[in-house]
Amino acid sequence: MQIRCVAIDDEPLALKQIGAYIEKTPFLELAALCNSAIDALEFISSDKADLVFVDINMPDLNGMDFVKSLKEKPGIIFTTAYSEYALDGFKVDAIDYLLKPIGYNDFLRAVNKAKLLLGNIEQNRDTAKASSDHLFVKSEYKIMRIELSDIKYIESMHEYVRIHLANEKPVMTLLSMKTIEEQLPKEKFMRVHRSYIVNKEKIKVVERNRIIFDNNVYIPVSDQYKTVFQEFINRNFLI
């Protein structure tokens, strides 16, 4: 597995060092070196990045806000000279945190951790293939068959998704929302929020831009998906 990497740092020497470490590591591929988060956003919007090394303390757009702005997050490893940022880094689900000056041993430890996590995600992506009526996902070291008709909604849990079922406990699997959305039939499922996909056939009550499921579960419909959702309601609305 080759991991495409982007490094972001406004300090030229630090950026050059990370680039050299990436090129030195056999399973890493250097895709881009960016001296600002804004340049990195432009690159990632049009090209693939599996893993991003990003400095936290940068002008214009800092590393933390950069990560929060990403709709589909690659693996993130923060680099910084300030140890007090470590906790904030893990709050946005960073894979690891490297304190400058960065030695190659610490770099290698972090990227091996990323390789394991990203490899598991890739393996689960290959497993989660949906047919017309079911899909298979890997959960707790088991491969489980899930009937599409049993799915109520799917909830993003950062690197994981939680699949909520009608009559069984939820199933957690290491997948991105984008991956599972691509596998589900669009005639049956709809993305209504960056964190939620719903089964259209399970929608019973809609109130104030929220879908209400049993047990007082409220699924918000975000502005990004509101138009498509309203079109679905209108097509099935009796006057």
CATH architecture of 129-235: Beta Barrel (2.40)
Band (131; pLDDT cuts 50, 70, 90): low
Residues with Cβ within 8 Å of 17's Cβ and at least 6 positions away in sequence, in order, are 102
pLDDT digits (tens, 9 = 90+) for 211-236: 998 778 899 999 989 899 988 888 87
Q: Which strand (E) or helix (H) includes residue 172?
A: strand 171-173
How does residue 128 score in pLDDT terms, banded at 50, 70 and 90? Answer: low
**Residue 199 — left, alpha, or beta (φ > 0 → left; ψ -120 to 50 → alpha)?**
beta
CA angle 68, 25, 16 (to 5 degrees): 65
Residue predicted with more confidence, 141 or 181: 181
Q: What is the pLDDT of residues 7-44, one digit of tens each?
A: 999 999 999 999 999 999 999 999 999 999 999 998 98
Q: How far apart are CA 164 and CA 233, in angstroms?
A: 22
Residue 68 is predicted with a pLDDT of 83
What tokens were used for 216?
């007082």
Quick one: which H or E segment has residue 232?
helix 223-235
Please tell me the predicted confidence (pLDDT) of residue 137.
Answer: 86
Rounded CA separation 79/56 (Å) = 7
Instruction: State how beta strands 3-8 and 51-55 pair.
Output: parallel
pLDDT-wise least confident of 13-17, 71-75, 119-123, 139-143: 119-123
Fold for domain 3-125? Answer: Rossmann fold (3.40.50)
Opening angle at CA 157, ends 81 and 78, nearest 5:
10
Q: Is the pLDDT of residue 193 over 70?
A: yes
Percent of the chain with pLDDT over 90: 46
Q: What is the mean pLDDT of the chain?
A: 86
For residues 37 and 60, the answer to whether their CB atoms sit within 8 Å is yes
Query: 92-108: per-residue pLDDT in tens?
Result: 678 888 999 999 999 99
What residue spans define the domains of the chain?
Answer: 3-125, 129-235
